[in-house]
Structure 1
Amino acid sequence: MLFTPTDRNKLDYSEQGFLVVDEILPSKQLLQLHQAFDDVFNGTFETGVTPDEVNWQYGTGDPSLTRQVCNGWKANRSIARVVLSEALGRSVAQLAGWPGVRIMIDNLLSKPPGARSLGYHQDSAYLSWFSPSDLISCWIALDDTTRSGGTLEFVTHSHEWQQDSPSGEFHGPDDYRQPMHHAAESQGVEPQIAYVEVKAGGGSVHHGWTWHGSGANDSALPRRALVLHLMRCDAEYDPTKFEQGIGPTYSRYKHLADNQLDENYFPILWHEDGSRTKALDDYLASPGPV
């Protein structure tokens, strides 16, 4: 991994609510990830394990929508080598000032030419069933990104706005910025939009309450991205949030007797004491289905 945060990076992230990074992955990894995306979206799972959420497959998925799969790291080791990377986990933890970091969920996003927009939202509005509820998302572009290609957009300083509940349509809304504009109006501010325009292998890191979304892909090229949603190493299930709903997928990993997050499903990538979930390196080294 090529990204190591500087003091300036930490300041920019804290002030803006996001940080654009020119290089997160080396170019040699990109072809492996392109193949991994093709495999997963075709229903080929190298490890024999199905991802937690499969929201699009070739042959049945709406071709006008952005393709999405959640927790592809469980299905494909090329994806897992990025998502479970100790070096990338360390970089994110250092950027946030955390003692350690664990993966909550990954997203495989593929926006082919002509695909519609993704609605503006705040990640933490959907993913707040744990405490401490801090959340950071790392968005890695697998193709060169442009405004016309429907790249990721951020609203500068919006992590300091009021923390709203989820609203609006996520996949292919008519006005993908509408929820954000309503939030900006309630705050009495004029939103400042920044676009993540980077070469393949670059990307961004953003705060869980930063408003973001992306427009339609009006270019002739695909826009694929691997996204990591990360939380602190000491996070646990928060029973006070259960009434808001964890959802059928991630509630299934809740222990009967305690609120601990099971490292089999939410592994620790890096800790300042030098440790991480023990099984990860063996899993990544295994050559075939488990």
Structure 2
Amino acid sequence: MNRYNYNRDGFFTGELPPESNKYLDNSIAKLPNILAGKFDLNNAPWAAVGFENPEELKRISQLHIVDQDFRNLITCSDLAQLVAKHLNASQIKVWGSQLYLKPPSYSDKTTVGFHRDSQHMPLFKAGSITLWIPFIDCDELNGSLKYLQRSHHWEHALPASGAHFQNILSQEHLLKEQVADDEWSNISVNLKKGQFSVHHMHTLHGSGPNYSRNWRTALAIGLLIDDYELDTHAPDYGFKKALSDDFLSPVIFQK
């Protein structure tokens, strides 16, 4: 697939290798267990938020340490090799994983405002990317991922950016006031099950509400490539220590 250029646009898309598709199907089959709190690796997620309100976006963190099928998907060597080839990377390391469950709702509570991953994970100064894998076919009706093309080249201090914005149209208006009109390009990445996207840590991205009748579920995998850099003075939420643990933060590709 690879219809977009990572360095130019801040993201690219691709097709999962056959082995990853098998692990994806196994992970989908495990969803009832995950939601019931049954974890076969005998570890609990680092966080599970949004479950108090049926209309809110739900998020479960660190799936690769709680379930073997999810771990197989997240650490799949064929997929890691494909990503490394596209980015010309010599090493890829997992730093985290998050499962997002967007329920059917006309409420803005399932909206994720345009944000940069670097805003919410300031520990990583450079070398962090996100691999995004949908569990169903995604489109604008069910809240597909949206990228602001080339936004990883924009200035980093944009007051109107942030995942907490729940009116994405209003947020777009505010962002346009801070960015030259000729630079604005909003791309809805309507990935099918069996496809994936990868985006830069400074690429602005978000998603709207899920107006469909089905849950929109997707897995976001935080990866570090080559000589990544850390801001040791920034909040690290436990991830700095985890980087030295091969189980919590495994290397999945090495030249």
Scaled by the length of structure 1, what TM-score is found?
0.76
Residues 52 and 65 of structure 1: is their aligned pair in 2 closer, same or farther, counting only changes over 3 Å? same
Q: Is the 8 A contact 2:112 2:166 kept in 1?
A: no
Q: Distance between the aligned counterparts of 1:13 and 1:197, measured in 2?
A: 17
Counterpart of 2:121 in structure 1 is 127
The correspondence of residues 93-242 of structure 1 with structure 2, limited to 5 A, is: 93-114=84-105, 116-130=110-124, 133-164=126-157, 170=163, 173-179=165-171, 181-189=173-181, 191-235=184-228, 237-239=230-232, 242=233
How many residue pairs match? The answer is 250
Q: Distance between the aligned counterparts of 1:169 and 1:199, measured in 2?
A: 26
SS at 2:42 equivalent: coil
Residues 205 and 24 of structure 1: is their aligned pair in 2 closer, same or farther, counting only changes over 3 Å? farther
SS at 1:235 equivalent: strand
What value does the CA root-mean-square deviation take over the aligned residues? 2.6
Q: Is the 8 A contact 2:133 2:220 kept in 1?
A: yes
Residue 250, structure 1, aligned to residue 239, structure 2? yes
Residues 229 and 185 of structure 1: is their aligned pair in 2 closer, same or farther, counting only changes over 3 Å? same
- Decide which structure has the larger Cα Rg and report it: 1
Deviation at 1:187, TM superposition (A): 2.7
Question: Which segment drifts farther, 34-43 or 210-219?
Answer: 34-43
Aligned-pair identity in percent equals 23
**CA deviation profile, 1:95-116 (whole Å, cap 9, x unmatched):** 2222201011111011121162
Residues 130 and 27 of structure 1: is their aligned pair in 2 closer, same or farther, counting only changes over 3 Å? closer
Letter in 2 for 1:203: F
Residue 71, structure 1, aligned to residue 62, structure 2? yes
Deviation at 1:264, TM superposition (A): 3.3
Q: Distance between the aligned counterparts of 2:13 and 2:66, measured in 1?
A: 28
Letter in 2 for 1:264: F
Aligned to 1:43, which of 37, 44, 51? 37
Counterpart of 2:245 in structure 1 is 262
More strand as a share of residues: 2
Question: Which segment drifts farther, 202-211 or 107-116?
Answer: 107-116
Question: Which segment drifts farther, 114-123 or 204-213?
Answer: 114-123
By relative contact order (CA 8 Å, sep 6+), the higher-ranking structure is 2
SS at 1:82 equivalent: helix
